[in-house]
């Protein structure tokens, strides 16, 4: 499967260059051919869980899961073909004790995986499915979102010409406010940033005030179909400016010039969900699939038992 074909049929998260950046030396792909064409592909990243071999979600990656070629067959035949292709993909996966992948929103049929012993949890993202009319998008925002954007416009200027170091700093402040360590190393972010720059697939937006202080920053990546808001951060001492709302709006407007859909890379955290929902985006389900060996189930059960005892 050449780079041109991959660009046309796979999301940015399934591109070899993306996987090289987020999981160097750790990834592979199950591939099913029909004749000289690729009919299905399932990239995977190998890692560890409780010291056991696992297929995991790589850092900064919204979705993984299978890609299946488009079919013009009758619906019943399409489902039959999906069963066959997905079964062949599963058969090619390396043997591991744990599997966890979040599938693209385009995958609505996970039944073939169920038949191979996988379990599913429904998760949600928020998406603006049509970026062609930004005035219509603006009108769909909740009133408080529009008010926050107008407020921020009076206090900060939007810039997209600052260096990654400025983003790393404001991103770290978000976790510092919550007494948390940044979950992703700077080296990992820099590696991905270099890859995205090389493929013209990222843009950062910053909100700066007249004193030169950075109030917030957001990090956007995209492919030919969808833009994803994969990282953001704000200075906790300057949150009242509502700069993050303004930056999301700027990111949406920019995304409308390079792709078709805007994905907020949804969160199951209530406060974040409420923020994303205020931009008039559509709640969209996607599937997180897992599978555990007997050893892994025992380890998971032991972990939950210890957690319950500690919380008594």
**Residue 6 — pLDDT band, cuts 50, 70, 90?**
very low
* Nearest residue to 123 (alpha-carbon basis) of 62, 76, 182, 178: 62
Instruction: Verify that 120 and 209 share a domain, yes or no.
Output: no
**Which residues constitute the domain of residue 96?**
3-125+286-310
Residue 123 phi/psi, 5° resolution?
-120, 175
Angle (CA) 284-287-290 rounded to 5° is 160
**Residue 265 — pLDDT band, cuts 50, 70, 90?**
confident
Tell me the average pLDDT across 204-224: 98
pLDDT at 7: 42
Contact of 72 with 33, CB cutoff 8 Å:
no
pLDDT at 174: 83
Instruction: Verify that 139 and 251 share a domain, yes or no.
Output: yes
Q: What is the mean pLDDT of the chain?
A: 93
Residue 248: give its domain's CATH number. 3.40.630.30
Q: Is the pLDDT of residue 266 over 90?
A: no
Instruction: Verify that 135 and 254 share a domain, yes or no.
Output: yes
pLDDT at 258: 98
Instruction: Verify that 233 and 176 share a domain, yes or no.
Output: yes
Tell me the average pLDDT across 95-119: 97
Instruction: Verify that 67 and 138 share a domain, yes or no.
Output: no
pLDDT at 271: 83
Report the alpha-carbon distance of residue 81 to residue 62 in Å, rounded. 26
pLDDT digits (tens, 9 = 90+) for 182-210: 889 999 999 999 999 999 999 999 999 99
Helix (H) or strand (E) holding 309: helix 294-310
Residue 264 lies in a domain: no
Contact of 67 with 225, CB cutoff 8 Å:
no
**Residue 4 — pLDDT band, cuts 50, 70, 90?**
very low
Instruction: Verify that 87 and 195 share a domain, yes or no.
Output: no
| Tokens read off for 59 | 């850092």
Residue 271 lies in a domain: no
Instruction: Verify that 145 and 114 share a domain, yes or no.
Output: no
Instruction: Verify that 140 and 69 share a domain, yes or no.
Output: no
Contacts of 138 (CB under 8 A, 6+ apart): 146, 249
Instruction: Verify that 95 and 54 share a domain, yes or no.
Output: yes
Residue 166 lies in a domain: yes
Residue 84 lies in a domain: yes
Residue 113 lies in a domain: yes
Q: Is the pLDDT of residue 92 over 70?
A: yes
Count of the separate structural domains present in the chain: 2
**Residue 5 — pLDDT band, cuts 50, 70, 90?**
very low
Residue with tokens 């010409």: 161
The DSSP symbol for 12 reads: G
Beta-sheet strands, E only, within the chain: 27-34, 37-49, 52-56, 67-68, 98-102, 119-128, 157-159, 202-208, 214-222, 226-234, 261-263, 282-292
Distances (CA, A) of 101 to 31, 56, 172, 265, 295: 17, 6, 26, 15, 19
pLDDT at 310: 78
Residue 101 lies in a domain: yes
Report the alpha-carbon distance of residue 312 to residue 308 in Å, rounded. 6
pTM, two decimals, is: 0.92
């Amino acid at each position: 499967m050449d780079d041109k074909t991959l660009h046309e049929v796979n999301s940015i998260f399934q591109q070899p260059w993306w996987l090289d950046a987020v999981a160097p030396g750790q990834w592979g792909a199950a591939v099913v051919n029909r004749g000289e064409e690729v009919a299905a592909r399932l990239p995977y990243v190998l890692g560890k869980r409780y010291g056991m071999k696992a297929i995991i979600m790589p850092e900064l990656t919204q979705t993984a899961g299978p890609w299946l070629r488009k079919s013009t067959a009758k619906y019943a035949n399409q489902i039959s073909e999906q069963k066959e292709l997905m079964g062949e993909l599963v058969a090619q996966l390396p043997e591991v004790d744990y599997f966890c992948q979040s599938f693209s929103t385009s995958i609505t049929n996970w039944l073939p995986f169920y038949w191979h012993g996988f379990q599913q949890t429904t998760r949600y993202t928020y998406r603006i499915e049509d970026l062609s009319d930004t005035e219509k998008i603006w009108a769909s925002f909740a009133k408080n979102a529009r008010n926050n954007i107008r407020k921020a416009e009076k206090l900060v200027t939007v810039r997209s010409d600052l260096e990654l170091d400025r983003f790393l700093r404001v991103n770290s402040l978000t976790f510092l406010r919550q007494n948390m360590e940044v979950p992703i190393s700077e080296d990992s972010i820099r590696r991905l940033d270099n890859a995205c720059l090389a493929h013209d697939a990222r843009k950062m937006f910053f909100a700066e005030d007249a004193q030169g202080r950075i109030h917030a920053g957001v990090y956007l990546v995209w492919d030919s179909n969808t833009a994803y808001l994969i990282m953001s951060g704000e200075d906790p001492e300057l949150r009242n400016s509502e700069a993050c709302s303004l930056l999301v709006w700027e990111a949406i407007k920019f995304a409308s010039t390079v792709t078709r859909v805007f994905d907020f890379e949804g969160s199951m955290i209530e406060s974040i969900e409420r923020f994303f929902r205020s931009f008039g985006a559509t709640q969209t389900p996607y599937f997180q699939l897992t599978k555990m060996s007997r050893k892994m189930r025992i380890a998971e059960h032991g972990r939950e038992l210890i957690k319950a005892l500690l919380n008594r």
